[in-house]
Structure 1
């Protein structure tokens, strides 16, 4: 598995987390297949360079910095990273403290 990653000299210390995020988070392309009506060249789709060890795709509806939003609940139930299921009743947000007391 390690042979699929780009070999690089890693330093003992890293940059600030925002710089590391710019370097490692890969955003999704809006139209990865090209403009409308163009011929589809499937061999050119996707990432053309090797992956770095810390690189990852960024989730579209997720917080960039999880440390700043740790423990906060979103307004819509089921949208939290730790909660993958959508509850049957979506009338009010469910907070972790309320679930434990029930």
Structure 2
């Protein structure tokens, strides 16, 4: 499938725990992204909100097999204990976008 024909772009955002060390939290997410890329071939990017630095977004673009990618993302997020760095009372939110037709 070419990306013009229906690739999905994922945006996963969340708040990082106030007591999580920034460098440690970043290393955890980047390790997860590295493993995810090996499993799926999809490279991720990690961004933080300019104004606060505790709202983070993972970006995964041009996903050609959404079902396999989402399963791998869940598995790797669990394996790397990403939930442990998320602020209590908040959750990781996943948004899915496609190109306008």
- Say whether the fold is shared (TM-score over 0.5): no
- Higher Rg of the two aligned structures: 1
Name the TM-score, length of structure 1 as normaliser: 0.22
Higher strand share: 2
Higher relative contact order (CA 8 A, sep 6+): 2
